[in-house]
Amino acid sequence: MSTGTREIPLARPLLDEREEELVLEVLRSGRLSLGPTIERFEELIAERVGAPYAAAVSSGTAGLHMLAHIAGLGPGDEVITSPLSFVSSANCFILEGATPVFADVDSRTLNMDPGTLEAAITERTKAVVAVDMFGYPCELDEIRAISDRRGLVLIEDAAEALGAEYKGRAVGSQGISGVFGFYPNKQLATGEGGIVFTHSEEEWQLVKSLRNQGRDYRGGAWFHHVRVGFNYRWTDVQAAIGIGQLEKLERLLSLRAEVAARYTQLLEDVEVEPLCADDPTHRRSWFVYVIALPAGADRDRVMTELRAQGIGTAEYVPCVHLQPYMRETYGFGEGTCPVAEGVASRTLALPFFPQLEADDQERVVEALRAAL
C-alpha cells in the first residue's frame, strides 16, 4: 500500500552501464550457459579472495549442499552450525539426511562461540558449518583447531562475507572450503548465484561435475554421466553481471562502509545497539546494517511505524532452530540457544545499500527515534 512518501527500500543493488555492456556481449555471443564468461568470472573471484579454485553455482545454498554431499554426510550423522543464520546453513546437510545441532553464539560477534561448539560435539558429530554472520569473520582458527582435533569436516558459510578479512587475510584464503552468495542484497549482486571456493583440486573437480548433473568436468559426451549430480549450473548472463560487479567491488565495499559509518554516527544518541566494531583480527564486510532494540521495546510496533513511513525494515534474523519445520521435525524450542534467541528477539535491519543517500539515512534514524 502506498504511503504517499518516497519509499526507502531495505536493499538495492548498484548496477550501471558496465553490467549492461557485458550482458549484451553475452547475449550477442549466443553462449548463455557453460560458456567462457563463467570461467572468466571464476578466475577473477578466485584471484580476489586468494583461493586457488572457485566454481560458480546457482546459489550459495547449492554450493553448501554440494560441499555437504562431498563430505559424505548422511543419516545418523550430526552436524553443528550456528542458530543465528539463514536456514541454508542447516538445510545444506539436512538435505543429505544429517541431523542439525546448534552451538550458541558469542553475544558480541553473533558468530558461533567455540566453547559452545566444543560442548555440542558427540560421537555422532561429523562436521561443522561455521557462519560469518552479517559479514563478520567467525573465529576460524579456534573452530578449525577443534574440528581438526575431533576429526570433523569444516565448511565455511561465508555467503555474507565477500570482502571480509580474518587476521589480515581475505575470507576465502584460509584453506577452508566454503561459499559466497550473490543475492541482490549482497556485496556482489548478480540476482541469484553463488560460488564455491576451495583449496582442494579434487573437491573443485567434484563440484564442477556435481553442479552439471554428474557429467565429467573435463567435458566429453553431453549424455555421459560419471556420478549422480544436481542441476546447480549458473548462467553466462549472471557471470557477466558478476564481472561488472567485481570490477567495482572495492568501490562497492567502500561505499557500504561509508553508509555504515554514517548510520553509526547518527545513532549515537539513540538507544539501540549496533553490530560490533572491527578489531585487529576481524574486518567486517558490510552486508546489512542491523541494530538491537533495547530490552522490552515492541519491535513489531517499531517496524510497523517505519513501514508506514515508506522505510524498509525486517527482522534480522530469526533463529534457525525456532523455524516451524525445525520445531516439528527435531523438537527444538526456546531455551536451546539462549544467547542467540535473546539477540534475535531484538534485532532488525535498516535500509542499507551502497548508494543510500545521507538525507535518507537521517530520515530513517529520525523515524526510528520517534518510534522508540
CA-closest candidate to residue 140, choices 125, 126, 122, 158: 158
Q: Which residues contact 301 (CB under 8 A, 6 or more apart)?
A: 371
Q: Which residues contact 341 (CB under 8 A, 6 or more apart)?
A: 83, 319, 322, 334, 335
CA-closest candidate to residue 73, choices 60, 64, 83: 64
Contact (Cβ atoms closer than 8 angstroms) between residue 346 and residue 319 = no
Please state the separation of Cα 254 from the chain's center in Å. Answer: 19
**Helix, strand or coil for residue 276?**
coil
Query: Which residue among 126, 167, 186, 248 is the active-site one?
Result: 186
186 catalytic residue (yes or no): yes
What are the cell numbers at 241? 553481471
Q: What are φ and ψ of residue 72, in 5° steps?
A: 75, 25
Contact (Cβ atoms closer than 8 angstroms) between residue 132 and residue 138 = yes
Look-up of cell digits 517496524: 303
For 138, what's the count of Cα atoms within 13 Å in the CB-facing half-sphere?
Answer: 34
Give me the active site residues, please: 186
